[in-house]
Structure 1
Amino acid sequence: MTKFSTIHNPILPGFTPDPAVLGHGEDYYLATSTFNWYPGIQIFHSRDLAHWDLQSYVFNDPNFLHLAGTDTPAGIWAPDLSYDKRTGKFWILMCQMHNMTGNLFDQDNYAVWSDSINGPWSKPIYLNSIGFDCSLFHDDDGKHWVTTLEWDTRKGYQHPGAIVLEQFDPELGKIVGPTKRITRGGTDRGCLEAPHLYKHNGYYYLMTAEGGTGYGHGVVIQRAKKIEGPYESDPQNPIITSTPYRYFRRNDPDSLRLDLYNPKAPLQKCGHGSLVHTATDEWYVVHLSARPLPGTTNCTLGRETSIQKVYWTKDGWLRMKAGGTLAQKTTEGMKGISVSDAPQAVGVDADFSHGQIDQHLMSPYGPRTKEWCSINKNSGKLRIWGRQSFFSQFEVSLLASRIDSFKSTVATELEFKPIHYSQSAGLTLYYDNRNWLFARIYYSETLGGTALAIMKGEKGNKDEYLLDRVSLPEGKAQICAQINYGTVQFEWRKQSSDDWQKLGPKIDISFMSDEQTGGFTGLMGGIGAFDAYRRESFADFNYFKITPAK
């Protein structure tokens, strides 16, 4: 009898939403959304489907896709990853969401290709602006098809719209032919999105997400003999979800749907699926998921990536190997492929003395450039020059990476010599430009010199923990944030031989969650600086670490 290893979910904990998976021989690649962060579109690699390493990004050039000024959670949405066997090219489709005001969405969809999964990638090929969540299907006859959610903005029409099919000509570099609406959903959950086409045993299978990207989410399957339809719905839809019962919410624009929280579900918000056929002739669905703070519906870690093993029934439908439709915390691994018990949460360990900046570190609204961020080769320290505040959506001097465990330590060591109260540098927990915490070194006129204190941004409002500031004449400190599920305790010390001292009270961080912000990104830990005086100040950082608790 064949023995199977066990895969534990989530396979990519923390802010890794909208997964698209691709099998290429015995290698597996996975792309996720990055919203307003550079480099754009993360690509992870795995050999066992359980442990994934960040391998590369698709772009890091603001001339490629310009994200400055982007309102969170707009930016780069739902990349699709595919491979054309005829040409040996990898393809990625992506949506750049510019604006979501009034539900009159402004977005553009693009395709890029490369001869290698690691790039370089081509210049963006414009596809359409009809909606979002584009994907590309390479048919057996050599034709290429794009499916998109058509975002219907008309009053009186069903919201959000329909899945549309368009033919794509890679030689011409554009959509050709008419736009055909092929489905308005396989269930009555509403919030239709994330179409992916597959072909199996003479059928075209359309996998979509329905029910919103919150607690009503689900993976839905439909099929047709012809690519343009008509499509019939799987009688068990959704095939993977956290809310395994029928409900009617068509034309309901609420995507979070807190009332659909299922306390019995091992994972929440399960939907937005992507199918992969393995080299071992098995099938898996990679999907979005989330884990709220215990006893709440607040997901501070954001939307994560999980996986379920599936199989084809005799009548040609996909079913979870575990049975039922409720997404599980564990699933069977591939036949003959051992899975280690190493944790999926890996954190970040960036020692700048090596002369490199860890690839996990990203920056919002624009790429990292030597004008504001570089390693001093003589000192082996990372120098960050202060620019605009963390409330800004333009020139923000911030490097950050996702928090991938409910219990984590985020830490750094820096030196900073401010001369004006508007100059700050330090350690941050950052959800978006309206919601963050900043343990910072700054100049205090009240204390008559350099000080250490906490600044808070919550729903766009600033607050300061003035009663907890500490005099720091030397301008040097080690700072850490001890995250324990829904709270954080900042600590500090002058040097490694000293004991850690508390900085301020324990702070509730549940305000940095999808449910409290109305967004759908995730908590990041980072280092940065701002300077509203003369943009002349800089801070030198020795290291930056995010360490998950064991």
Structure 2
Amino acid sequence: MSATFTNPVLPGFHPDPSICRVGDDYYLANSTFEWFPGILLSHSRDLVHWTHVGHALTRRSQLDLRAVVDSGGIWAPSLSYADGQFWLVYAVLRTTGMGRPFKDAHVHLVTAPSITGPWSEPVHLNSIGFDPSLFHDEDGRKWLVNMQWDFRKGRNRFAGIVLQELDPQSRTLVGPIHELLRKPILSEGPNLYRHGGYYYLMLAEGGTGWNHGIAMARSRALTGPYECDPEPAMLTTRDDLTHPLQKCGHGELVQTPAGEWWLAHLCSRPLAPERRCLLGRETALQRVVWSDDGWLRLAHGGHSPVLQPPLPAGILPSVPQTDEDGQSRDDFDRATLSASWQTLRVPAEESWLSLTQRPGWLRLVGRECPNSLWEQSLVAKRLQSFQATAETRLDFAPTRFTQMAGLVCWYDTRTHFFLRVTHDEQRGRVVGVSLSDDGNYDELPDGVLPVASWHSVYLRAEIDRSLLVFSASPDGSAWRQVGPALDASKLSDDYGYGLHFTGAMIGLAVYDLNGTRLAADFDYFTLRPTLG
């Protein structure tokens, strides 16, 4: 029996994968939405083991996410390599949301000589839709392809796939806009490939939920007409709601040096019984082949994904699948935060985040509230396991109830759980739990701990699938539960009103609603999977 690997290869919040190969190296980009820095970049030598190597948009001059709505921001980047450099196109969604006919979707281009940069300042290309990709044709010409959005009453909002030439010198779109294909369903995420005398158009269809899938079309000419694949989907689980990988769709192709073709695609893994996907949309891989009649097909047959595909040709099964950077201990003894950390909407700057003011500690300055879309002091990592434990130790001396610091389990500004140290007028310094449940604020009075006599406060969050338990300790050994067990599955795309596209994050937050910028110091942070 051939050796296998297990999907997803990038677990947790890693949606909309875009993949390319340069020599023997593979590179992958994922959407980051309202999180900063923008566009997570990963590297692999074998398609199976991936390491975060940084982000493309790291400067305020490149990206301003202040006031961007939850699940707005960076949508569906597309990464490619040509002419000795990396090309990255993406959309910034500033206006979006359920029930809103309009979208402000601004498509930009950045380039870099290396995956680690330096990445250029963004160049605006268009604002007619989202999910852009860049096609480098064999004749050297470059083309931008994306979906177009139609806000008009009675129209299909997903108003077709369009193509326009990109002048690489001026970095502007030139010539006419060509409509390649229009279908009466949700068609997005377009990518173009040239193979066997055809131009192939790969599409994400059905919306990025339970009906998601990937469909194909092809043409002898770049600008069409395009014929649709006789199979309605080359990848989907819409007809098998028991499959462990759900919502499969939005993918890109890569060819290995051995000649194999692989599809990187998003997927989600729901938890029973609510069918909520705590870890968000993740990145998986499937081997694909070209059929005798020239259509792309899953190598194992059918249109359902495989949870454990065979390893790519030439890959040895000697190294376990790990992400040591994503789930580990951080003692804050480096000059900068690792690539697995993200901040909310704004960059990590010395004005509110410091690793030097108290060496070996992370100092966060309290700013705006947990509902703010502007200036929150929050840093977090992706939850990448259904069973995990996060822990920290902090020094914090609040004098008012408006000052709070602690451990946060976060989905967005409307849904999160906060294990916080704060001040109570009668009991002094206390540890308790506050939360936002789909926009409804609450505090849990049961289990509030007076901790005025504690020298330091240790905080812990334990997640066991849908169960979240908070606890606190004066010494890191004797733990006391704080509040009742909570429903961790609410930290998912599938809970609450509206459309959601990210995933659960766990991290550290400090708030000072006095405006006096009281700081908290964190000694360490751990986020480790727990063996069930």
TM-score tier by shorter-chain length is over 0.9
Query: How far apart are 1:158 and its partner, in Å?
Result: 2.4
Asked if structure 1 preserves the Cα contact closer than 8 Å seen for 2:391 and 2:526, the reply is yes
* Other-structure match for 1:381: 361
2:206 counterpart (202, 206, 211): 211
* Other-structure match for 1:59: 57
* Other-structure match for 2:299: 321
Is 1:96–2:96 an aligned residue pair? Answer: no
**C-alpha distance in 1, partners of 2:455/2:512?**
16
**C-alpha distance in 2, partners of 1:339/1:166?**
43
Larger CA deviation: 338-347 vs 226-235: 338-347
**C-alpha distance in 2, partners of 1:71/1:456?**
19
Output one character per residue of 1:463-498: Cα deviation in whole Å (capped at 9) or x when no partner: 1112211011136211110001111001111113x3
**C-alpha distance in 1, partners of 2:448/2:530?**
28
**C-alpha distance in 1, partners of 2:101/2:3?**
45
* Other-structure match for 1:434: 414
Asked if structure 1 preserves the Cα contact closer than 8 Å seen for 2:51 and 2:323, the reply is no
**C-alpha distance in 1, partners of 2:517/2:207?**
45
2:395 counterpart (400, 408, 415): 415
Asked if structure 2 preserves the Cα contact closer than 8 Å seen for 1:266 and 1:327, the reply is no
1:531 counterpart (512, 516, 520): 512
Specify the code of the residue in structure 1 equivalent to 2:258: T
Distance 1:112 1:376, change over 3 A: closer
Show the 5 A alignment for 1:176-325.
176-185=174-183, 190-244=185-239, 262-325=240-303
Is 1:393–2:389 an aligned residue pair? Answer: no
SS in 2 for 1:510: helix
**C-alpha distance in 2, partners of 1:41/1:286?**
16
Query: How far apart are 1:349 and its partner, in Å?
Result: 2.1
**C-alpha distance in 1, partners of 2:358/2:415?**
36
Asked if structure 1 preserves the Cα contact closer than 8 Å seen for 2:406 and 2:421, the reply is yes
SS in 2 for 1:156: coil
Q: Which runs of 5+ in 1 are unaligned?
A: 245-261
Asked if structure 1 preserves the Cα contact closer than 8 Å seen for 2:55 and 2:339, the reply is no
1:505 counterpart (448, 459, 484): 484
Asked if structure 2 preserves the Cα contact closer than 8 Å seen for 1:451 and 1:475, the reply is no
Specify the code of the residue in structure 1 equivalent to 2:312: M
**C-alpha distance in 2, partners of 1:173/1:330?**
42
**C-alpha distance in 2, partners of 1:179/1:277?**
29
2:443 counterpart (464, 486, 490): 464
Asked if structure 1 preserves the Cα contact closer than 8 Å seen for 2:446 and 2:484, the reply is no
Larger CA deviation: 534-543 vs 18-27: 534-543
SS in 2 for 1:425: strand
**C-alpha distance in 2, partners of 1:314/1:459?**
50
Asked if structure 2 preserves the Cα contact closer than 8 Å seen for 1:197 and 1:206, the reply is yes
**C-alpha distance in 2, partners of 1:234/1:475?**
66
Asked if structure 2 preserves the Cα contact closer than 8 Å seen for 1:355 and 1:380, the reply is no
Query: How far apart are 1:339 and its partner, in Å?
Result: 3.2
* Other-structure match for 2:127: 129
Asked if structure 2 preserves the Cα contact closer than 8 Å seen for 1:208 and 1:272, the reply is yes
Is 1:521–2:502 an aligned residue pair? Answer: yes
Query: How far apart are 1:342 and its partner, in Å?
Result: 1.9
**C-alpha distance in 2, partners of 1:154/1:489?**
47
RMSD between aligned residues: 1.5
Asked if structure 2 preserves the Cα contact closer than 8 Å seen for 1:243 and 1:326, the reply is no
**C-alpha distance in 1, partners of 2:420/2:342?**
20
Show the 5 A alignment for 1:77-96.
77-84=75-82, 87-96=83-92
Query: How far apart are 1:56 and its partner, in Å?
Result: 1.4
Query: How far apart are 1:344 and its partner, in Å?
Result: 4.2
Output one character per residue of 1:132-155: Cα deviation in whole Å (capped at 9) or x when no partner: 000000001111011010011122
Output one character per residue of 1:409-459: Cα deviation in whole Å (capped at 9) or x when no partner: 011111100111100000000001111111011111131x11111110122
State TM-score, norm by structure 2: 0.96
**C-alpha distance in 1, partners of 2:238/2:229?**
17
Distance 1:88 1:376, change over 3 A: closer
Specify the code of the residue in structure 1 equivalent to 2:416: W
Asked if structure 2 preserves the Cα contact closer than 8 Å seen for 1:11 and 1:307, the reply is yes
**C-alpha distance in 2, partners of 1:242/1:103?**
29
**C-alpha distance in 2, partners of 1:170/1:452?**
56
* Other-structure match for 1:548: 529
Query: How far apart are 1:365 and its partner, in Å?
Result: 1.1
State TM-score, norm by structure 1: 0.93
The aligned length equals 524
Distance 1:158 1:263, change over 3 A: closer
Larger CA deviation: 170-179 vs 338-347: 338-347
* Other-structure match for 1:109: 107
Query: How far apart are 1:352 and its partner, in Å?
Result: 1.1
**C-alpha distance in 1, partners of 2:164/2:328?**
42
Asked if structure 1 preserves the Cα contact closer than 8 Å seen for 2:445 and 2:483, the reply is no
Output one character per residue of 1:10-33: Cα deviation in whole Å (capped at 9) or x when no partner: 111111100001011111110000
Is 1:488–2:483 an aligned residue pair? Answer: no
Is 1:342–2:320 an aligned residue pair? Answer: yes
Specify the code of the residue in structure 2 equivalent to 1:350: D
Distance 1:4 1:117, change over 3 A: farther
Show the 5 A alignment for 1:26-175.
26-84=24-82, 87-101=83-97, 102-175=100-173
**C-alpha distance in 2, partners of 1:297/1:156?**
32
SS in 2 for 1:16: coil
Query: How far apart are 1:370 and its partner, in Å?
Result: 0.4
Runs of 4+ in 1 over 3 A off after TM superposition: 343-346, 353-356, 376-379
Query: How far apart are 1:343 and its partner, in Å?
Result: 3.8
**C-alpha distance in 1, partners of 2:471/2:369?**
23
Specify the code of the residue in structure 1 equivalent to 2:505: M
Asked if structure 2 preserves the Cα contact closer than 8 Å seen for 1:416 and 1:475, the reply is no
Asked if structure 1 preserves the Cα contact closer than 8 Å seen for 2:17 and 2:29, the reply is yes
Asked if structure 2 preserves the Cα contact closer than 8 Å seen for 1:441 and 1:475, the reply is no
Specify the code of the residue in structure 1 equivalent to 2:430: A
**C-alpha distance in 2, partners of 1:50/1:139?**
28
